[in-house]
Chains A and B, each alone.
Chain A
Amino acid sequence: MSRVFVPLDTSARALGADKVAAAIAAEARKRGAAVDIVRNGSRGLVWLEPLVEVEAGGRRLAYGPVAPRDVAALFDAGFLDGGAHALALGPTEEIPWLAGQQRLTFARVGLGDPLSLDDYAAGGGWRGLKNALALPAAAIVAEISASGLRGRGGAAFPAGTKWETVRQAGDGQKYVVCNADEGDSGTLSDRMLREGDPYCLIEGMAIAGLAVGATQGYVYLRSEYPQAARILAAAIGRAREAGWLGADIVGSGRAFDIELRIGAGAYICGEETALLESLEGRRGIVRAKPPLPALAGLFGRPTVVNNVITLATAPLILERGGAFYHGHGSGRSRGTLPFQLAGNVRRGGLVEKAFGVTLNELLHDFGGGTLSGRPIRAVQVGGPLGAWIPPAQFDVPLDYERYGEIDAMLGHGGIVVFDDRVDMRRMARFAMEFCAEESCGKCTPCRIGSTRGVELIDRLAAAGGAGHGERLALLESLCDTLLHGSACGLGGMTPYPVLSALRHFPEDFGIASQGHTP
């Protein structure tokens, strides 16, 4: 029986993986070949999807991108035994794009059937949770603190500090909430992990529950991800049946369970307090802080709210120790970040690297430049609220502090590439438009300022002449109000893309490149 791997990841399916899997099954039947088709997660090489792998000689060999019309020829070439073919890429692990990565959180993603408990255990799954079950809560938190892990949703708050706050917040009901509502454009790491290694997230949440004394977890998942919802729901059910969730986790006497909740198309619910409001059944309106969710979060109880990647990194830290994870990275940014190469890029997908890598390496060595073949003009890092980075800054190491120094942010590690046809005034306008579209309406700077921002940028487009300078000054003043007067990061960070566009690409705003310094 030959094993063939065809990913079930959203992006692989978006490029035809289901039809490829069906074609392989049909061709195998026709030829009487015994084939076991495994629907695995994605390896993250989206540019090669659908990436089909076979097991031959104890190794995984890759072919891609495979279209249904290629399947007969692949059988002719004996691909089940690793036969030569124009689409053959050799051993998957030796593809330079993959070999050059440091897969820690994503070590298992793409290897096996994401719902197979056997595959998960064989890949080292549950070891972190088993270790955690043998430790006092304070020691679990200490391990997370020692790792230097910071919130991967964008705010980069030390995870250990957050967990410790919840742990010490008295007795009674506490919660672990997984923020799976990342809606940043250019972000696919969380989705890939949920679709490719869902037990890892479940294990991480259970570890968090043990660490802080919470018995109930919620995953708040965006409604835009139906495939992730299907896989995660099935994984939670199977983990419960196998005893990894429930009233008595594998006979330990400790309880933790998870419920999956689906969002409803509101970007603001990625903000933790709006998410909690939504979980409680209300409009996703941000709450004033304090009180911190760590002390008064879901239903008023102490709550850990962490992003998917943050939680999914906890099992590794509990398995291999905080010092191991801390051994990667640069400065105060410890460990790895799953970067995502997106937009107009030739070789896009997921690149997990230690902090400190540069955009030059990611965009050129991994990305291979633009898909259009034109020069890169601007790159947005960190989602729709992230700053635009010009080529002159592509050598700045990607870590939280170094990016802060250039008025930019890493956010979620999403990197969206634009070529030289991009109009940066339009992109600045879109940032304001997006803020207006997604504003929860709680605070005036965001609710009204974003609409005024769209109008102001439209008037700038009327170009030059009398009053142009005043309008630019007004835009900067408006951004200042948003930056300092908004209740949360949506209004508070919308100025990043606007001001960085203005600063680095003044010519698109009718300003001569030299002279005016916004």
Chain B
Amino acid sequence: MSASSPRPPDAPDARIAALAQAHAALPGALLPLLHAIQDEFRCIPDEAVPLIAAALNLSRAEVHGVIGFYRHFRSHAPGRHVVQICRAEACQALGAEALERHAREALGCGFHETSADGAVTLEPVYCLGNCACGPSVRVGDDVVGRVDARRFDELLAELRGAP
């Protein structure tokens, strides 16, 4: 494609600008807009920041500051799956720390990192509201209870498509 050709309508920045415009009239629009962008693109790409700022009449610094403040928002797309391990007290009481160590070993990566095969990004989370049957793990939008090392390996195998 030559530099002068019009961008296709589904190019990310056109789509982001459209999302931003669609949210512009909403009171307190920034978080809903960031969610909408991340839900679609799996992250808030850096090039989205000026588009958001322009649409909501904010400075780029303000937008950047909000993205950085909230743990949920990320600037880079994660691995194919996001696995969160609860670090909070109720899960600690049932061995969350051991599970965390096992997960780091099994994936060969730490929190906020992605396994070498790109399958899994590991994240800490502080409470999934599943406190009476921990340790708890969230895989995508599903919460799994009573996760020990063996159950974690089963989940990983499912995610990696292995038998």
Contact = CB atoms under 8 A, between A and B. Distances in A.
Interface of A: 10-11, 13-15, 46-47, 49, 183-188, 190-191, 223-228, 261-267, 278-284, 299, 340-345, 348-349, 371, 380, 384, 414, 416-419, 422, 427, 430, 434, 437-438
A430 B29 CA distance: 35
10 contacts: A14-B142, A183-B127, A185-B91, A186-B88, A191-B129, A262-B35, A264-B72, A279-B28, A342-B93, A422-B93
Contacts of A267: 126
B73 interface: yes
Contact of A416 (B28, B30, B70, B89): B89
Contact of A340 (B92, B132, B145): B132
Contacts of B142: 13-14
Contacts of A261: 28, 31-32
B146 A265 contact: no
B31 A188 contact: no
Most buried by A among B29, B88, B134: B88
Interface SS of B by simple majority: loop
Contacts, number: 155
Given A14-B144, A14-B145, A430-B92, A281 B131 contact: no
B135 to A, nearest CB: 10
Interface string B130-155: 11111010100111111000000000
Interface of B: 27-32, 34-35, 56, 62, 65-66, 69-73, 88-94, 125-134, 136, 138, 141-146
B71 A265 contact: yes
Contact of A343 (B28, B32, B56, B93): B93
B130 A188 contact: yes
Chain A interface SS verdict (over half): mixed
A263 B73 CA distance: 10
B22 to A, nearest CB: 15
Given A14-B143, A14-B146, A341-B132, 12 more contacts: A10-B128, A14-B145, A46-B133, A49-B133, A264-B35, A267-B126, A279-B31, A280-B27, A282-B30, A343-B94, A380-B89, A384-B88
Contacts of A284: 69-70
A343 B69 contact: no
A182 to B, nearest CB: 8
B71 A188 contact: no
A343 B145 CA distance: 12
Contact of B146 (A15, A345, A384, A427): A15
Contacts of B145: 11, 14-15
Given A14-B136, A427-B89, A264 B127 contact: no
